Each structure stands twice: as structure tokens, then as C-alpha cells.
Amino acid sequence: MRGSIFRRITLMSDGQADRRWLKCPPIRRIALHTMKKSLTAGLFALSTLSLVAATAKISVAVDQPGHPVSPTLWGIFFEDINLSADGGIYPELVRNRSFEDSEQPESWKLTHGPGAKSEAATDTSHPLNPLNRRSLRINLNGNTSLNNEGYWGMNIVKGQSYKLKLAARATDGFSGSIAVKLHAADQALANGQITGITGEWQYFTLDLAATGSATKAALQLNFAGKGTLFLDMVSLLPQKTWKDHGLRPDLLESMQALHPSFLRFPGGCWVEGETMDKMYDWKKTIGNIDVRSPLYNIWQYYATHGLGYHEYLVMCEDLGAEPLFDINCGMSHKENASLDIIGKWVQDALDAIEYANGPTDSTWGALRAKNGHPAPFHLKFMEIGNENGGTAYRERWPLFVKAILAKYPDMHLIANHWQGGYPKEPTPDIVDEHYYNTPEFFMQQAGHYDNYDRNGPKIFVGEWATMEKPAWRAVGEKRPNTPTLHEALGDAAWMCAMERNADLIVMQCYAPLLSNENPGGTQWKPNLIGYDAINSYVSPSWHAQEIFNIHRGDEVLSASVEQEDSANPLPYSVTRDKAKGLIYVKLVNVSASPREVMIDLGKKTKVEPKADLITLTSKDPLTVNSLKNPEAVKPAAKTIDTASPVFNVTLPPSSLTVITLRAK
């Protein structure tokens, strides 16, 4: 996604870029003209007017199976935005652990005891290694403490263990120790001691068991005496992580609950960078964390790359999701690499595939095994670039395709569909379209893909989200970080359009995924999941995603809608799970009034009277979930016993409903 709303475009049905934003009827429009003439004057009251909406009929051709639903249709997207890696799913508690964020020791605070006069500054005279040039030099003179509060405070939990690891060396006569403390105000939560520091770099580790809990704790390193002490790679990680693979459990559980078929990573605009020196280079994100080069990213903060290419692949494996790796193609936001040297980027793509899939006796496969994963990751999908277009992209696309398919003919390569369309030589198998727009736009676009050319490339909707405005930025905006119910209904309408055309739409994923709710932690709104250092919550849009993912089906059933009120569309999709004998009818009521809908499955269809309904709604369509009220909007389940080949169902105002029917 672009870093400026002025770069954001909307792809219309003809696939061309259009900066116009559709103005659609307000969601609170009341369909007064649908009042039935049979109402007598005595019954015609204002209270009745507010409750009546147009009736509609969904006719389903159960005996005429449609096209299959792509098994990779429902996926998720991860971009390091909103501090969603460091400070998010990668649970490093220390901020600026390698002192590379600035020439000043950002996030570190030196305090002194009575009479002490110590000083601290970054130093490059004797680096820990050639790739980690900057350390912290402390000129000690008396009792001194070095404090780090991490990402808006460290969440320390009583009974849990935390691993401290740091590199240290000393000169000028310092022979003391380091007293380590986790604390909140005057409360000590854990203590430890580091001794044996010499003139050469050494690593030291401590296991700190918390004897108390605090949500705004800090790490404190205490020194006494005189001399010079050097520190680097000061890391504090919780021992308890998701599947013991180093990621934050609650956030990964929310991702896993969506049952994603694939995970697209690492972005997004994060792939490109603002300039070529800020592009994502996967080779700098693997191996020991002290040789991974921190990078100032497009969202204006440093990333440690503790979550690197290898960890992304492990995360996909743990989620049971296909990895979809998006690689830089020699293009950034402001500049491009010359075609004369583009071979480096092509080779990076080939090497990335070998790292993921190659045998252990290959160069990169051997490194994967050394990093703890001898078995291949079975990478099948690679996207070439992100939101790249124009002549420069059309020149680069064939160079990647030719080289990759010559060595890996089974790879699925995805092209960007951006300004100027998508490259035609060679024609891509899959193209990536991005959409960001208002709820009304998506509600009115329920038929967007119905008439797309089926002879062209398949489509991956690699970034999309409903927004109350075309784009929300953190600065100056006073809206929630996550979607309202109204936005979730726009999402549901769009998902109906994609699912109904699942012969064409083979993959899709909402963006962005995560939002750090601390002040200054969010650069883009809205996002699917919100969190702070302690808790997390899922949004109404997350619930809409979950509802669609759980009620997938494996084939689309042909269906049509008839309705009296064309101003209030009825987005819909009908799928069937053949093995289970289940029919899923998904309906979105975008009206502020209840809506009575007739479901007609054809007289020959036999279904059990008992049917399950899942409904996502709220009295106020602008309701949001939050850290304080995480379940303000959540699905409600009920059972009816009136299902038949033809039956009626009443949809609540502003709601998503899924009806699960059991075929006899």
C-alpha cells in the first residue's frame, strides 16, 4: 500500500486507474416506497415506516452446480506497518536493542546515583561484527542505571520467564558486574547478575523469572565503579511464544482462527521502500539476529528483522498456509535500479526460492538447514514487485519470468496490476489488483466481477479494505484504528462479489492486518486486529472474514436476486460443501431496516427443516470493537426449524447473515 493518500488509486471495472470516489446512498436510507398497498390507513404509522424495507428473493439453482471455489481464495496479508512486527507479533521487549536506530541512543535513558557523572553515546570504533557497526559506550563514574521501557512499556507476567541476552566488553579498568532488574516504579519484578566482562566482546544470558506482574515495566541495567563499558544486542524475549517459534501467542491465534489458505508477506510498500537503499532485502533478514541489518522502513520506524524471511516461512507452516513471497523487482517509490544491474534482483528471486525449497546440498538450502529447517518449505507462489507499473515494470517482468520458470517451471508468478494495467509479455497467469474505497462503493459493486473476461489472467485481490473515507492516516484523524460494523458490511459485500466469482478470483486478502494501539503506533487505518502490549481484540471486519472462511464450500451455486428496492442492493453468495451436504447462503443487509428475503432452492431440492443462522449486526452500524470493549460486535448463532425448498428469512438491519442448510 502506498504511503500517501494521493498515490492511492481505485481500479474500476475496466481495470483502469480512477481517482474518483463513488457517492452512494446513505446506509440509513429508508425504503418508504416499498410499503405494501394492502396496509390500511389505520395501520400506516411512523413506527411502521421505520421498520419496513424492500422484500427480495434469492433463487438458487441447486441442480446446476457452478464453478469450483478456489482452495486458495481466503488468505491473509502481513506488512510491517503499525509496528506490527517489532512491538507486535515479534515480541522483543527492548526497543533499539542493537543501538542502530540513531546516532543517539534512542529509547535508552541513563540515570545517576548521588555524585555519579557517567555519560553514554553510540560508538563505532570497535563493532560487534562488520554488519552491526554501532554499540553503546558508557563512560562510568559512580552508580549508574541504564533503562529501556521498550514499546510503550513492557508487559511482565508473574510466573513467566524472560530471556535476557546481551553482548558486552569493558576497558579503562572497569571490572565490575551488571545488576539486572525488571521493575515497575519501585516494584522489583525480577533480578539477575552478569559477571566476567573482559576487554573482548562476549555474549551473556540470564533467565529472569518474574515474581510480580506489571503492564508498564522496564529493563534496568545497573553499574558501579569507573571505566568504560560497551553494550550491544541487548535483547529481552519472553520464553512463552506461539508454538515455541518466537511469536506472540494471542495475535497468532487470531490469525490462525481465520483458517488462512495463504499468507502474503512481507508487504506491501515495505517491499519497495521509499528509495532503493530502503528496499526489503530478504538476504539481510536471515541468520543470527546480530548480523541482520535493521532497516528504516517506509512507515518511518526501524525494523530489527527479528521477523525475517525464515521466520515468515515458519509462520506460514505453523498456520497451515501457503507462503506467498513478494519480492522487490528493482523498483522503489522514488527510484529504480538500472536494467544494466537488474540481474542482482533476478538472482535474489532465484535464491529465495532455493532457500525455501532447495535440497540441503544446495547453497541456500544448506543455509536453511543450518538455520534449523532441513525440510523444504514448498514455496509455490511469488509476486514480482508491489504496486509497480508503467514501462519500467513491463521491462522487468519478462526478465524475472523467463529466469524463474526456466529453473522452477511449477512456480506461480503474480504480476502487479497497477498504473497502466498489467504486463502482457509474457501474459501473467495471475495479476494482483488493489482496492480501497468506501462501504457504499463496495455495496454497490456486488456485480463487479460478474462480467470480467474469463480468457485473461486469474485475479489475486492482494490488498483491499473498506474505509469510511478513501484513506485514513494517523495524523489528525480521530477515528478508531479498526473498522466499524458499517465498514465490515462493505467488506462482506465485496467478499460476496469475490466468492461468487471464485473461478476468476483465485486469491484475496484484506490489508492491513494488525494495528498497534499505542499513541504513535498506527500509521494506517483501518486494520483488522488491534492490540497493545497486553491485550488484543478482533474487529467486526475480522468476524466477517471468519464467517466467510468457515463457511467456504467447494463450489459456487448459480443464484440470482430479485428485489423491489434497487437503491438498497442485497449482496449475496451461495456455495455448497459437497462432501458435507451443506449449502451456505450469505446475505448482506445494507439497509437500516429489517429485510424479508425469500430463499427459493427449487421445488426438487430437499433440505432438513433445521438450519443454522450466524448473524453479525449491532444496533448502531458505526459500532466498533476496542481494547476496552472487545466484543461490542460479535456474531450471534441461532437455529430455525422452518427451512424448506422455499422459505422466508428476516435479515436484521445492517447485518451479515449466513444460513447453513443441510441437504437430504
CB 592 within 8 A of CB 30: yes
Q: Taking the CA atoms of the chain, what radius of gyration do you get in angstroms?
A: 28
Q: How far is CA 84 from CA 77, 245, 522, in A?
A: 12, 17, 9
C-alpha 508/C-alpha 55 separation (Å) is 31
Residue positions counted in the chain: 664
Q: Active site includes 499? A: no
C-alpha of 27 from chain center: 28
In a 13 Å sphere around the CA of 654, the CA atoms on its Cβ side amount to 22
Give the angle 514-254-90 at the CA atoms, nearest 5°: 55
Print the SS3 string covering 41-55: CCCCCHHHHCCCCCC
The closest alpha carbon to 251, from 374, 90, 134, 366, belongs to: 90
The three-state DSSP-derived secondary structure of 394-436 is HHHHHHHHHHHHHHCCCCEEEEECECCECCCCCCCCEEEEEEE
Consecutive H or E run containing 487: helix 485-500
Residue pair 227/170 in contact by the 8 Å Cβ criterion: yes
Contact status, residue 480 vs residue 451, Cβ threshold 8 Å: no
Residues paired with residue 191 on neighbouring β-strands, in sequence order: 181
Give the strands of the sheet with 119-123, arranged side by side.
119-123, 135-141, 226-238, 161-171, 202-209
Q: Which residue in 423, 600, 624, 613 sits closest to 525, CA to CA? A: 624
Cα distances (angstroms) measured from residue 652 to each of 112, 228, 589? 63, 69, 7
Of 79, 100, 383, 387, catalytic: 387
Among 158, 164, 225, 151, smallest CA distance to 187 is for 158
Cα gap 213→562, rounded to integer Å: 59
Give which of 654, 657, 656, 636 is closest to 593, Cα–Cα. 654
What does the alpha-carbon distance between residue 620 and residue 443 come to, in Å, rounded to a whole number?
18
Looking only at the bridges linking them, the beta strands covering 582-589 and 655-662 are antiparallel
- % helix / strand / coil in the chain, to the nearest 5? 20, 35, 50
For residues 423 and 329, the answer to whether their CB atoms sit within 8 Å is: no
Spatial separation of the C-alpha atoms in residues 84 and 1, rounded to whole Å: 15
Which three three-digit cell numbers place residue 327? Answer: 519480492
Closest by alpha carbon to 87, among 546, 618, 626, 522? 522
The set of catalytic residues is: 387
